[in-house]
Structures are given as C-alpha cells and as structure tokens.
Amino acid sequence: MAQPGGRVGARTATGERARSSSSLRLPRLVLFDRDGTLLHDVPYNGNPDRVEPVPGAAEALGRLRERGIATGIVSNQSGVARGLLTRDDVEAVGARIDQLLGPFDTWQYCPHAADDGCGCRKPAPGMVLAAAAEVGVPPRECAVVGDIGSDVSAALAAGARPILVPTTVTRAEEVAAAPEVARDLGEAVDLLLGERR
C-alpha cells in the first residue's frame, strides 16, 4: 500500500451530464474511494473483521479487470493523524480488502488530517497523480469513482474522469455539481465501459 510522500509497503445514469470526448475512451486505470464506495463505511475502521464490501463491488471490479483495466484505491485515512488508527491498522484492513476484492494495481492513502496542508488528501489530486504514476498511466486516462464531492474534486484537479455514486452522506449540491452520477457501482462501470443494461 503506498501513500504520496513515501512507501508504506509493497502492495443512462441518474443525473448523467453530457460527456466530453475524453470520457468516451475506455480508462486504463479506475481508482475507487474505499469507505462508502467499495465498502460499507465504518468510521476510522482498523479492524479487518469489520470490512464489508457493498453489494456489487466484486462484480464491478471483475468487469473492469476482464477488460484489462487496472484498478486501485485512493483513501483519506485521517484517523492515523488523529491517533485513532495506526499505519499497521490501515495495512491490516487493506490486506482484508485485497482478500475480498483484490488484487489492486495500486493502493494510495493519505494519513493526514484536514488541516495538515498536505497535497495528497482529497480533494487535492496527490493520490490520484501518485496512483497514475505508479501504474504508468497518464491521469487523463484514469477515472475516479467515489461517493462525495472531494472524490470528484480530486479527479478533476488531476485531470481524471470523476463518477459520483451517491450514498446517504452525499450532499445534494455534490450531486448537482458532479459531471457524471451513477446509482451504484454497476452503473458506474456501465458508464466507464460505454455500456447500457
């Protein structure tokens, strides 16, 4: 699992807007937010036993991998800076996610708090850029799937394609501002692959 600034270890849609020509190409790398997008959100989770993928997560990832598209995770983990989690906790949860949903081509997480002023914490683009560099894909050939506005903002700042999959925590203004919105992960993959179900 990697983080910007240092290696931690080896390792017709609802609300759809008009798509640019760049969004019509298949992405080479799709990055997912972790908590609330691929997993049911357990705040500051450091317990691998509490990892529970959302419905359709494994299928969505499998469809991308079958097309030769790389996958990765970009996740804010401010619990590390707040002393609620250790890096080892984040790694242990990551290992469990790999067992259930992997393998991922890149793992990036930001251990900083919101007021640390880092360049990796979403909505900053640092993790997206680092993931793209690690996989060897230009950011413009990446997509980011997440559940809140900071995921969308990080993608746009990096030059990647954002797709918002709203949950109960997503604000109405975040949905309104998102270039593309999907009802669930399956529909997000439909958009990325240019498919309709």
pLDDT for residue 24: 62
**Mean per-residue pLDDT for 43-54?**
96
Predicted structure pTM score: 0.88
Residue 115 DSSP label: G
What torsion, rounded to 10 degrees, do the Cα atoms 112, 38, 163, 104 define?
Answer: 80
User: Which one of 35, 89, 151, 184 is the catalytic residue?
Assistant: 35
pLDDT for residue 8: 30
Give percent of the chain with pLDDT exceeding 90: 85
Active site residue 35: yes
pLDDT for residue 3: 41
Cα(154)–Cα(163) distance, integer angstroms: 11
Pick the range with the lowest mean pLDDT from 3-12, 18-27, 70-79, 170-179: 3-12
Active site residue 33: yes
pLDDT for residue 195: 83
Which tokens hold the place of 22? 């760049």
- Whether residue 38 is predicted with pLDDT greater than 70 in this model: the reply is yes
Q: How confident is the model at residue 25 (pLDDT cuts 50, 70, 90)?
A: confident
- Whether residue 10 is predicted with pLDDT greater than 60 in this model: the reply is no
- CB atoms closer than 10 angstroms to residue 134: 17
pLDDT for residue 53: 98
User: Which one of 33, 89, 105, 151 is the catalytic residue?
Assistant: 33
pLDDT for residue 174: 97
- Whether residue 22 is predicted with pLDDT greater than 80 in this model: the reply is no
**Mean per-residue pLDDT for 15-40?**
76
**Mean per-residue pLDDT for 133-158?**
98
- Whether residue 72 is predicted with pLDDT greater than 70 in this model: the reply is yes
Q: Domains of the chain, with CATH numbers? A: 23-193 (3.40.50.1000)
Please give the single-letter amino acid code of residue 46.
G
CB 165 within 8 Å of CB 147: yes
Q: How confident is the model at residue 19 (pLDDT cuts 50, 70, 90)?
A: very low
Q: Which residues of 163-176 are buried (b: 16+ CB within 10 A; e: fewer)?
A: bbbbeeebeeebbe
